[in-house]
Amino acid sequence: MTVFANRQTRIHLRFRAFAHERTLKMKRIVIVLALLVMLAACTPALPYKSYLVTVNYDLSTEEAITESNYFPDLSCYSHDYQYLNNDFFPVTGDGKHFVQVFMFKMEAKTDHTTINAEEVIRTMAEYGLRPATSRELLAVIAKFKSDFELTDIAIAALGDPFTDEMGGQHGIFVLNIPHVKTGDRMKIVGLMDFDAGYATSWLFAAVRK
C-alpha cells in the first residue's frame, strides 16, 4: 500500500510540475503577443507591400538560391555566378529568424530617372528601414513564388554587399523576365553595382531597423 501511495504521489508531483511549466509557457506566449500588439499599434504603417517570412540561416547561400527557384545567369557574358556563394555572401546569423520584408520603391521619391544604391539606403532610413540582406530577400522569393511569377521588375537586396578588389560594392538582385526569343520566363539571380544607375521602377527589399 505504501509503495502504491508513493507512486501516486510521484505521479501527482510530476503532473503538477508539468502543469506549472505549461502555465508558464502560456504566460510567456501571452506576454509576447501583447508586446507584438503594442508594437504594431505604436509603429506607423508603411505604404509598401510586405511579406512575413522565416529566414533559415542554416542554409548556405547556394542552398538559399536553390530554394528560391531562381538561378545565376550562366551566359557567356556574365560571371556573376562565381560570386553567389558563402565566400562573397557569408551567412550572417544562425538558426531561423522571423522577419517582415518590405518592397521599397523610389519611384515617387525622386525626380531622377535613375537612382543609385546609396540614395536608396539613405531614403530607406527616413522611413525607419534598413536594406534587407540577400538571405532575407531569397527567403521571400522562396516562400511567395506565385507573387513574383509574372514580375518583370528587378528586386535588389543591399544589406550585405561584398567589396571587390577595386573597392566596388555589390548586392544581389532577382529578376523574372520572358526570354526575348522563346517567351519562357527566366528567373535570374545576379549582382548589382552600388555605383551604377538603376531605374526608379526597381524594388528594394527592406526591413525595419
Question: Is the pLDDT confidence value at 121 over 90?
Answer: yes
Confidence bin at 175 (pLDDT 50/70/90): confident
Q: Predicted confidence band at 19 (pLDDT cuts at 50, 70, 90)?
A: low
Beta-carbon contacts of residue 145 (< 8 Å; ≥ 6 apart):
69
In sequence order, what are the beta bridge partners of 192? 171
**Cell numbers representing residue 72 in the block:** 545565376
Query: Whose grid coordinates read 527566366?
Result: 186
What whole-number distance in Å separates Cα of residue 138 and Cα of residue 24?
A: 36
Q: What is the structure's pLDDT at 6?
A: 59
pTM higher than the cut 0.85: no
CA–CA distance, 127 with 85 (Å, rounded to integer):
31
| Measured distance CA(59)–CA(72) in Å, rounded | 17
Asked if 60 contacts 84 with a C-beta cutoff of 8 angstroms, the reply is no
**Residue 33 scores a pLDDT above 60:** no
Lowest mean pLDDT among 36-50, 58-72, 100-114, 160-174: 36-50
The 10 Å Cβ neighbour count of residue 187 is 17
> Nearest CA to 140 among 59, 38, 67?
67
Q: What one-letter code names the amino acid at 6?
A: N
> Of how many residues is the chain composed?
209
Separation between Cα atoms, residue 21 and residue 25, nearest integer Å? 6
The continuous run of DSSP H or E covering 103 comes out as strand 96-105
3-state secondary structure of 158: strand
Q: Give the torsion through C-alpha atoms of 107, 105, 41, 138, to 10 deg.
A: 170
- As a whole number of angstroms, the distance between CA 135 and CA 139 comes to 6
Phi, psi of 52 (to 5 degrees): -95, 120
pLDDT in tens, 106-115: 865 666 678 8
Contact 175, 150 (CB under 8 A): no
Block residue for cell numbers 508586446:
35
- Give me the pLDDT at residue 22, please: 73
